Amino acid sequence: MREIDLAIVGGGPAGMAAAIAARNKGVENIVIFERDSRMGGILNQCIHNGFGLHTFKEELTGPEYAERYADRVREMDIPVETDTMVLDISKDRVVTILNRGRGVEEVRAKAVILAMGCRERPRGALNIPGYRPQGVYTAGTAQKLVNCEGYVPGREVVILGSGDIGLIMARRMTLEGAHVAAVAELMPYSSGLKRNIVQCLEDYDIPLLLSHTVIDIKGKEKLEGVVIAQVDSKNAPIAGTEQFYPCDTLLLSCGLIPENELSKNCGIDIDPRTNGPIVDEGLETSIDGVFACGNVLHVHDLVDFVSEESARAGESAAAYISKGCKADDSTAVKVIPQNGVRYTVPSEIHTDDLLCDVHIRFRVTGVFKDCAIVIKSGENELLRRKSRILVPSEMLDIIIKQDKLAGTSDDITVSIEEV
Amino acid sequence: MYDVVIIGGGVTGCAAAAELSKYELSVCVIEKESDVCEGTSKANSAIVHAGFDAEPGTLKARLNVRGNEMIHELYKKLDFAFKNNGAMVLCFDEAQLPELEKLKAKGEKNGVAGLEILTGEQAREREPQLSAEVKFALYAPTSGIVCPFEMTLAFAENAFENGAEFRLGTEVTAIENTDGGYKVVTDKGTFESRAVFNCAGVYADKISAMVGADSFTITPRKGEYMLLDKEAGGIVKHTIFQLPTKMGKGILVTPTVHGNLLVGPTAENIDDKENTATTSAGLAEVRAKGSLSVEGLPFNKVITAFTGLRAVGDTHDFIIDQPVEGFFNAAGIESPGLTSAPAIAEYMREMLSEFMDLKPKADYKDTRRGVVHFAELSREEQNALIKEKPEYGNIVCRCETITEGEILDAIERPLGATTLDGVKRRTRAGMGRCQAGFCSPRTIMLLSEKLGCGIGEVRKNGRKGEKD
């Protein structure tokens, strides 16, 4: 069996950043396994700009952002096995891979980094009644068809869900000559970033219908239209508000789900709030030597944060490999999301033996105005940060200084307080 | 001039074609959709019923039990997925015990083996997730689950390989009498035939009326279902029914043969023979009634919902007859139609043998090989396959682990797929939890390349996708 130091599952932004960081920390024998024929992951179909403002202080397109990291991976001579699908990861880190040319093979790794990304919530999971005609796509599927295959799936478009890919596709379809009649969002707030609402909808006069949803899909073979209705505070359609929108294309942008089939089969504990692995401050999962980062861990808003987080996973894996054992086997305190906080990553911290400052990343459960983010260890307030507005579409990232956490044995709570 | 034209490429028509292809007959299946298995056969509970439900002495009772027996053998020869998982019929009220006993007696009269009444505790011992409200259950060990697409395709491909012709995307508009039989008029020309089998599902009344036999009507009975992720597939092992009502066998909860969990169907008689839309009321009913059998069903793991139409006749039995010489009906094939299909085919062949001489075909092939499923092979077999055809080393559908090799097989095999849904039914690509979000652009490219058409011409389903 082939033996390597570090196996990285996925060659998107997370996998590439993790590989570079691990190599910088001295890990020699790294392999990135990528199922596509090239690195970059989902960025390859994100041809719009807006990537890299934090990382490179300039505005790049998705492929450009990916290429910066891919170039670095090549410069560092980190092997990338493309067209290679990981079929299984065992608890003792034997990775089973499938490649067109070489068939099925097992590789033993000292550490594994999960960087598989996420997928879109499909129509079936949304319980939209109606027919199942041609013309209903997730926004990302349509994005691939338009941007990679050069095929525009329709002319008259309705978008359900105001996730960022949906907003981006509203603009993209408009630029391709289609008419986007409306973006309907079930919640009273958008699930996409403010800048995308402005640049992709408002600039093109595309209406955003908050507290609205699609309640029926018409057309047996080809989509003929959808019925949109307003919903009440319990998300139930309000009778009398139904409106028919004729369209040949319905795009869905209703949430992303971390892709953890491999993790679950490996026996890794999953946080039901994020649908990603439960990790500690070093992004190590419940299985020794297996780390997770990027959208497979929790859905990020900006790729810049994916890169930053993934570098941390790469460093932790490097430390694990050099020690040859769990990075820290001391007991951990829990990080508990409270009032207004939906989840936190990490969900536990080893406070005894911290190597660096700790990022706590989280999202809020609703829109909060004039509030404060409060992080406590037991009764002891570690951090209080005032904010004018917090919205669920933005991932928040708070750094807690290592010395503040050192030796803490009480659980840590993260909550939002009204000011 | 054909010997037999079969109208309808659902499971009944395809099973009939497979049965007739054992004989020296020229057979042609005419189907209005672009693929076989596009109507009732693709949207049902996928149960191989034991046969306790039908009234003793009816065709339904007889053909159900015979069909069940046949499928227990046929799936090996024709290579489709079948599992003998057993079924339970639940009652939630002790006062209903006599009804359960009546059902058992009915089953025994129909010749169903192994029926047994269980107490609630005994039932929960075998099926721990059953509701605490279950008082008694009828256990039927011969009940099974099948892949209805694979089974229909298996019959069709077996018939095709034994010489039957298939005219897809061809809609029958009239049937005329001729000296030697019938002239079947379609939107793609006329087909002359000595005999006609009417296996037209919800349209069987319209087809029968074309030869003047209009004594029955078919009412579509809508059934809505929800399909849950494979993570929920292990919640029950058996097919779980509730005590039947006049409208059918009620809402069932069952694992599918491929490991998902299926909950449904509703039962609503409608007029529109094309109305396969789901409704919020229907799906709410599925959720509510399914939860009676198994508490806390994880409906947050639904991956899709669909509607099927049962072809309900007005005689309370299958209508299998010869109203006019040489014209045979297989109408009103509602549940247990899927189970009964091979038995209906056998029965119709017997009827046909009174009408024309049937001579067994010397070179008849009684086996058929389905699409090889890469994920089900051993490591050695997988590597051998990839060596032979590297496309098996490329996963296209990650949810169901379906390779490019399988998709190419589905397109290139006899009666190959011409639509996304056709590929899906033959390979399962797109049937997983992401519901084709990931694989559809790739499958579209493969279809476009192999069919020699533009990406925009590749269709999800429908009538205009057939190959020339």
Rounded average pLDDT over B379-396: 95
B134 and B265 housed in the same domain: yes
Looking at residues A236-250, what average pLDDT do you find? Answer: 97
Q: Considering only CB atoms, which chain B residues are within 8 Å of A133?
A: 460
Do B325 and B458 lie in one domain? The reply is: no
The CATH code of the domain at A1-120+256-327 is: 3.50.50.60
Residue B210 above 80 pLDDT? Answer: yes
B209 token code pair: 């009326």
CB contact, 8 Å: B38 with chain A?
no
Per CB-CB distance under 8 Å, the chain A contacts of B455 are 145, 149, 151
**Closest chain A residue to B434, measured at CA:** A122
Both B138 and B240 in one domain: the answer is yes
The yes or no reply on domain A122-254 and CATH 3.50.50.60 is yes
Query: Which of B370, B393, B417 lies at the terminal end of a domain, its last residue?
Result: B370
What are the chain B neighbours of A225 within 8 Å (beta carbons)?
A: none
Could you tell me which residues come within 8 angstroms of residue B100 by beta carbon, excluding any fewer than 6 positions away?
Answer: B89, B91, B117, B136, B137, B138, B243
Q: What letter would DSSP give residue B53?
A: S
For residues B459 and B468, give the distance between their C-alpha atoms in angstroms, rounded to a whole number.
15
Confidence of residue A76 (pLDDT cuts 50, 70, 90): very high
Round to whole Å and give the CA distance between B41 and B39: 5
On whether both B34 and B150 belong to a single domain, the answer is yes
B324 burial type by CB count under 10 A (0-12 exposed, 13-18 middle, 19+ buried): middle
Same domain for B402 and B257: no
pLDDT score for A133: 94
Same-domain pairing of B447 and B381 = yes
Question: Rounded to an integer, what distance in angstroms lies between the CA atom of residue A31 and that of residue A8?
Answer: 6
- The per-residue pLDDT for B465 is 40
Q: Which A residues, 80 through 99, put their C-beta within 8 Å of a C-beta on chain B?
A: 83, 85, 87, 98-99
Test the A interface: residue of B35, B391, B460, B464 with most A CBs within 10 Å: B460
Flag whether residue B234 sits within 8 Å of chain A, measured between CB atoms. no
The tally of domains found in chain B comes to 3
Nearest in space to A4 (alpha carbons), one of A31, A35, A33? A31
Nearest-neighbour CA in chain A from B278: distance (Å): 5
Shared-domain flag, residues B334 and B380: no
Extents of the domains making up chain A? 1-120+256-327, 122-254, 331-419
Query: Per DSSP, what are the bridge partners of residue A375?
Result: A383, A414
Same domain, yes or no: B8 and B131? no
pLDDT > 90? residue A327: no
Place of tokens 């005219």: B167
CATH 1.10.230, domain A331-419, yes or no: no
**Residues B49, B72, B258, B373: which is the catalytic one?**
B49
Clarify whether residues B163 and B66 are in a common domain.
Answer: yes
Inter-chain contact A217–B304, Cβ cutoff 8 Å?
no
**Domain with B98 in it: what CATH number?**
3.30.9.10
**pLDDT (0 to 100) of residue A357:** 93
Average pLDDT of the segment spanning B188-216: 98
What is the Cα–Cα distance from A366 to A379, expressed in whole angstroms?
Answer: 25
Q: Are residues B95 and B235 in the same domain?
A: yes
Characterize B261-284 residue by residue with b for buried, 16 or more Cβ atoms within 10 angstroms of its Cβ, and e for exposed: bbbbbbbbeeeebeebbbbeebbe
Closest approach of A255 to chain B, Cα-based (Å): 12
Mean pLDDT of chain B: 95
Q: What is the per-residue DSSP string for A26-51?
A: T---EEEE-SSSSS-GGGGG--SEEE
Q: Could you read off the pLDDT of A147-176 as tens digits, one per residue?
A: 999 999 999 999 999 999 999 999 999 999
**What's the predicted TM-score (pTM) here?**
0.94
**A271 pLDDT more than 50:** yes
CB contact under 8 A, B435 and A123: yes
Indicate whether B245 and B307 sit together in one domain: yes
Asked if B376 is an interface residue toward chain A (Cβ–Cβ < 8 A), one would say no
- One fold for both A122-254 and A331-419? no
- On average, the pLDDT of chain A sits at 95
* Residues B238, B123 share a domain: yes
Tell me: the pLDDT tens digits for B241-298? 999 877 777 899 999 999 999 999 999 999 999 999 999 999 999 999 999 999 899 9
Active site residue B49: yes
Distance between CA atoms of residues A376 and A335, nearest Å: 10
A residues 107..136 contacting B (CB < 8 A): 119-120, 122-125, 127, 129-134
Q: How confident is the model at residue A127 (pLDDT cuts 50, 70, 90)?
A: confident
* Cis check: omega of the bond before A346, within 30 degrees of 0: yes
Q: What is the CATH number of the domain that holds B447?
A: 1.10.10.1100
pLDDT of residue A125: 84
* Tokens read off for B23: 């004989």
Which residue, of B370, B389, B405, is where some domain finishes? B370
Q: Which domain holds residue B197?
A: 1-82+144-217+314-370
Write out pLDDT tens, residues A184-219.
Answer: 999 999 999 999 999 999 999 999 999 999 999 999
- Separation between Cα atoms, residue A230 and residue A237, nearest integer Å: 6
